[in-house]
């Protein structure tokens, strides 16, 4: 076959600076020994030399199939801009692999080992020396890693976008690649026509514009120019018989020994390289910084601003790169608790072990679907079940750090499984069913569990939706049902297997313990990682602040706290309800739980409280006597106002009502009692008073600027509206596989950590202020701040003013119009409920405008304000803003 020499791309391709285009003749290796091949590549080195900027190192960027060096144009351009602005100067060398892009068409078959050799020949020809950081995508990821392991003397770090370096035997390759490789399809789809290329370009989200697509197509206009595309597809090693299988295995095994810093940026919506390949990479590079960009796919370099992430990571990692310091397999110290904070670490399961010979009641299951009433589980039974399940899990190969996703409702079974996992160091993954099937699936797949334990319904969903992991049923299943659901074991099997078997060494305080997912009310749910030390600290804060003893007892209708009873060494009960839908809880169900447990503390979410109050008329005299025994009542999940607290107090007349403030990242931050709320009602402050920090917790405020951004130096100064920042020993460790999110949070709180030594901080995304007594007032979420021409307006204060109007049940204040000139609109629920959403009548409009201290351009009514999917209490103001804009533009006002 005749070869075609290298050329240069057209000078007018969007985003590509022709100054960086180079062609180099390179002596060949392997099948090319004795030959010279011409390579086209992009190189910023001459421009950096012209600018007189010292080079920190070289990024060696390798594209995959069917792209070319154009894929890397953004990091090429941004690296030069960063250097010109005084940042570290990273030379970028982005190659066109042979037979690809504008490099030579060789006419020679180039399997994986040949391509790795090609890359070595090229870097030798341009005299590339360290420090070198590789950057690869698709098959370029494999080839770049092959180069990396062959050049340890030059290698400083590796960076990867969606790729795969190992494919498990017996598992089919992704469907798009199977189709492309099919007999009679390969040549037609990859060479004879541009179908494979066009399909790849169609994966971008948002879609590529016509000029960018044309730029990607420019080196592949004829069948002769596309032979490399077909060659790459045919070189996919589908099994051990393929000629490239041995080289892929060599690279995969060697990567696991790499100790250099690593960055993995991932588009989870990739139909080719899905999250299973990310999980494999993380297993091989456990020290890697990982960020999953929700909504991005195979062409991550087009879908997201990856160049900023790459250069930011290099800036953060430069000290390690220059000093060639090997990274730890653990996360950085900035995201881990200080050892001093856990010098007296007591594992979260310790109370269960200590009461292991106690026949007192530990857990009561109030599930209405269970026959024979509510079973009582003793401490002895609970401890035995935990020990057996833990040993059984270890016996089937579950090890420290393995992830176990739990699809089991609160109760004795879930408690036993959670504590069994924690005891052997497995990481518990808890994603609330309230996320909805789509959100739940995104959360589970994103965490990529090794094991899934669930009830049949959850296991069926995991099967249909393709969730990973060994499946274990919470209850024994008939053989046919187990086979249909892909179930390998039942918990009863594990209990039998674990009887009398020893347990492994217990995990340490800094080891990951749990991944709890946020509500997803302000974007895709994030996995919040807690260490064992942080869970223990949460237990201790809760016990100390609310004076929980072994005799106290808990009734909890709030999922995050449903599992803490055993950790606190006190009996616990979840009332008869759907925990994923808190508004299903009734007053009689709470009373029945109290009858069973004699508990003195009740934990509920705001939506649950609302329905308990609404159903109180159905209480019997016995029910009221049970409720009168409650000493402490807590509404957790979102702060609530005085009217609802007072209504709850009337149901539990001898209880001290509390409304703690917290979030998934830090479950308890501040606390206020009803008495404190009443006292705050006489203050001139706006918002919901959530009290003072608990224990050693700290709260600061970062003031909002005129553009509504939290740019102020964190301060305890009273009366300043800004973003709420919190610190606590039980503050989360980090977000799961969201390196960039963690990085931005750490960068923004560095000055605080320097000012308050030994502390870790979290930007909550909530806005509010501190008063002169140090109490915190919450005034809304940062994304919901209305930036008007007169400055930022927080929504909660005006909403409270409106809710004092007779006939108004709830209110939301949202903005419409362009940023910086937004106008406030009130959207209200009325009593009685309106049947038609739209503009409020004149009487309501007049009353609402008179009550509000901010100007309102309109007042709208709805039958029900939209709320988030988990708590049924946090108003979805973003959704309301879009709806209000449509209504006021004259569109037909359907419900928001």
Residue 369 has a CB neighbour count (10 Å cut-off) of 6
Domains of the chain and CATH, by start: 18-170+239-323 (3.40.50.1820), 348-533 (3.40.50.12780), 674-731+740-781 (2.30.38.10), 785-888 (3.30.300.30)
Residue 515 tokens, joined = 């991944």
Rounded to an integer, what distance in angstroms lies between the CA atom of residue 578 and that of residue 518? 18
- Give the β-pairing of 791-793 and 776-781: unpaired
Q: What is the mean pLDDT of the chain?
A: 90
| The residue to which tokens 């990479």 are assigned | 281
| pLDDT tens digits, one per residue of 772-823 | 999 999 999 999 999 999 999 999 999 999 999 999 988 999 999 999 999 9
Instruction: Give dist(CA 260, CA 149) in Å, integer.
Output: 11
- Which residue positions in the chain have pLDDT lower than 70? 1-4, 169-185, 319, 322-343, 368-374, 433-434, 520-522, 559-560, 580, 747-758, 868-873
Q: Are 295 and 438 in contact (CB under 8 A)?
A: no
- Please list, in sequence order, all residues whose beta carbon lies within 8 angstroms of the beta carbon of residue 576, skipping any fewer than 6 positions away: 366, 367, 368, 589, 592, 593
Half-sphere CA count of 361, side-chain side, radius 13 A = 17
Q: Give the span between the Cα atoms of 619 and 353, in whole angstroms.
A: 38
Contacts with 480 (C-beta within 8 Å, 6 or more apart), sequence order? none
Mind listing the pLDDT tens digit for each residue in 425-469? 999 998 876 677 888 888 888 899 999 999 998 899 889 888 899
Q: What is the pLDDT of residue 339?
A: 46
Q: What is the pLDDT of residue 374?
A: 58
With a threshold of 0.85, does the pTM exceed it? yes
Please provide residue 522's backbone torsions phi and psi, each rounded to the nearest 5 degrees.
Answer: -125, 30
Distance of CA 608 to the CA centre of its chain: 26
**And the tokens for 619?**
């209480």
Q: Quote the percentage of the chain above a pLDDT of 70.
A: 91
CA 429 centroid distance within chain: 12
- Tell me the angle at which helices 379-395 and 412-424 cross, rounded to the nearest 10 degrees: 50
pLDDT of residue 743: 85
Classify each residue of 636-673 as buried b or exposed e, where b means 16 or more C-beta atoms within 10 Å of its C-beta.
bbbbbbbebbebbbebbeebebbbbbbbbbbbbbbbbb
Show Cβ contacts of residue 203 under 8 Å, excluding neighbours closer than 6 positions.
270, 271, 297, 298, 299
């Amino acid at each position: 076959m005749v070869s075609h020499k290298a050329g240069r791309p057209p000078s007018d391709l969007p985003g590509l600076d022709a100054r960086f285009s180079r062609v180099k003749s390179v002596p060949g290796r392997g099948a090319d020994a004795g030959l010279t091949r011409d390579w086209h590549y992009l190189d910023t080195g001459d421009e950096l030399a012209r600018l007189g900027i010292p080079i920190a190192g070289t990024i060696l960027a390798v594209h995959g199939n069917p792209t070319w060096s154009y894929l890397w144009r953004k990091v090429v351009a941004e690296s030069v801009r960063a250097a010109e602005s005084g940042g570290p100067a990273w030379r970028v060398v982005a190659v066109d692999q042979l037979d690809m892009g504008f490099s030579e068409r060789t006419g020679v078959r180039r399997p994986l080992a040949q391509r790795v050799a090609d890359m070595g020949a090229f870097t030798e020809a341009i005299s590339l020396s360290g420090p070198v950081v590789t950057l690869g995508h698709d098959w370029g990821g494999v080839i770049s890693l092959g180069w990396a392991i062959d050049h340890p003397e030059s290698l400083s770090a590796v960076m990867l976008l969606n790729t795969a370096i190992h494919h498990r035997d017996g598992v089919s390759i992704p469907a798009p690649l199977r189709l492309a490789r099919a007999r009679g399809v390969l040549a037609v789809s990859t060479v004879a026509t541009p179908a494979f290329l066009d399909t790849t370009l169609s994966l971008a989200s948002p879609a590529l514009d016509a000029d960018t697509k044309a730029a990607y197509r420019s080196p592949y206009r004829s069948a002769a120019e596309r032979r490399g595309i077909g060659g790459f597809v045919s070189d996919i090693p589908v099994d051990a018989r393929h000629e490239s299988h041995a080289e892929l295995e060599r690279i995969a095994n060697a990567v696991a020994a790499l100790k250099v810093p690593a960055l993995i940026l991932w588009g989870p919506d990739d139909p080719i390289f899905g999250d299973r390949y990310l999980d494999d990479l993380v297993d091989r590079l456990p020290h890697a910084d990982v960020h999953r960009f929700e909504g991005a796919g195979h062409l991550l370099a087009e879908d997201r601003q990856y160049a900023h992430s790459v250069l930011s990571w290099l800036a953060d990692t430069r000290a390690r790169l220059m000093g060639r310091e090997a990274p730890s397999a653990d996360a950085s110290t900035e995201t881990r608790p200080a050892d001093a904070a856990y010098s007296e670490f007591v594992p979260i399961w310790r109370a269960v072990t200590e009461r292991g010979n106690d026949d007192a009641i530990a857990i009561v299951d109030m599930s209405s679907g269970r026959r024979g009433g509510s079973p009582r589980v003793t401490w002895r039974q609970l401890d035995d079940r935990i020990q057996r399940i833990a040993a059984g899990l270890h016996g089937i190969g579950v090890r420290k750090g393995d992830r176990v996703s739990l699809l089991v409702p609160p109760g004795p079974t879930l408690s036993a499984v959670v504590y069994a996992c924690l005891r052997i160091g497995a990481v518990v993954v808890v994603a609330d069913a309230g996320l909805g099937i789509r959100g739940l699936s995104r959360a589970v797949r994103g965490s990529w569990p090794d094991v899934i334990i669930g009830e049949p319904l959850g296991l069926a969903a995991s099967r249909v939706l393709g969730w990973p992991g060994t499946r274990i049923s919470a209850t024994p299943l008939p053989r046919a049902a187990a086979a249909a659901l892909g179930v390998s074991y039942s918990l009863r099997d594990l209990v039998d297997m674990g009887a009398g078997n020893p347990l492994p060494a217990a995990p340490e305080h800094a080891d990951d313990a749990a991944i709890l997912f946020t509500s997803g009310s302000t974007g895709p749910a994030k996995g919040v990682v807690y260490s064992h030390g942080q869970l223990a600290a949460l237990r201790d804060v809760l016990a100390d602040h609310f004076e929980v003893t072994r005799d106290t007892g808990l009734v909890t209708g709030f999922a995050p706290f449903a599992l803490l009873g055993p950790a606190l060494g006190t009996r616990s009960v979840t009332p008869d309800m759907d925990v994923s839908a808190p508004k299903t809880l009734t007053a009689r169900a709470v009373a029945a739980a109290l009858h069973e447990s004699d508990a003195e503390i009740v934990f509920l979410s705001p939506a649950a409280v609302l329905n308990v109050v609404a159903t109180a008329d159905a209480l019997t005299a016995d029910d009221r006597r049970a409720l009168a025994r409650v000493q402490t009542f807590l509404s957790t999940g979102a702060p609530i106002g005085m009217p609802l607290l007072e209504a709850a107090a009337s149901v539990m007349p001898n209880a001290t009502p509390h409304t703690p403030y917290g979030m998934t990242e830090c479950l308890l931050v501040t606390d206020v009692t009803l008495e404190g709320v009443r006292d705050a009602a006489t203050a001139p402050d706006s918002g919901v008073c959530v009290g003072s920090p608990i224990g050693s917790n700290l709260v600061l405020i970062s003031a909002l600027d005129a553009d509504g951004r939290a740019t102020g130096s964190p301060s305890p100064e009273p009366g300043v509206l800004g973003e709420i920042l919190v610190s606590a020993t039980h503050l989360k460790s980090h977000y799961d596989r969201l390196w960039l999110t963690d990085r931005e949070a750490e960068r923004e709180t560095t000055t605080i950590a320097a000012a308050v030594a030994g502390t870790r901080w979290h930007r909550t995304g909530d806005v509010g202020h501190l008063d002169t007594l140090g109490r915190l007032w919450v005034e809304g979420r940062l994304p919901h701040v209305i930036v008007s021409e007169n400055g930022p307006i927080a929504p909660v204060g005006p909403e409270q003013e409106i809710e004092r109007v007779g006939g108004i049940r709830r209110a939301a204040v949202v903005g419409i119009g362009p940023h910086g000139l937004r106008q406030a609109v009130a959207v209200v629920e009325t009593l009685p409920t309106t049947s038609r959403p739209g503009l409020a009548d004149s009487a309501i409009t007049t009353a609402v405008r008179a009550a509000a201290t901010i100007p309102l351009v309109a007042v709208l009514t709805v039958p029900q304000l939209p709320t988030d999917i988990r708590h049924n209490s946090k108003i979805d103001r973003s959704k309301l803003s879009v709806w209000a804009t449509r209504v006021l533009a004259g569109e037909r006002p359907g419900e928001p």
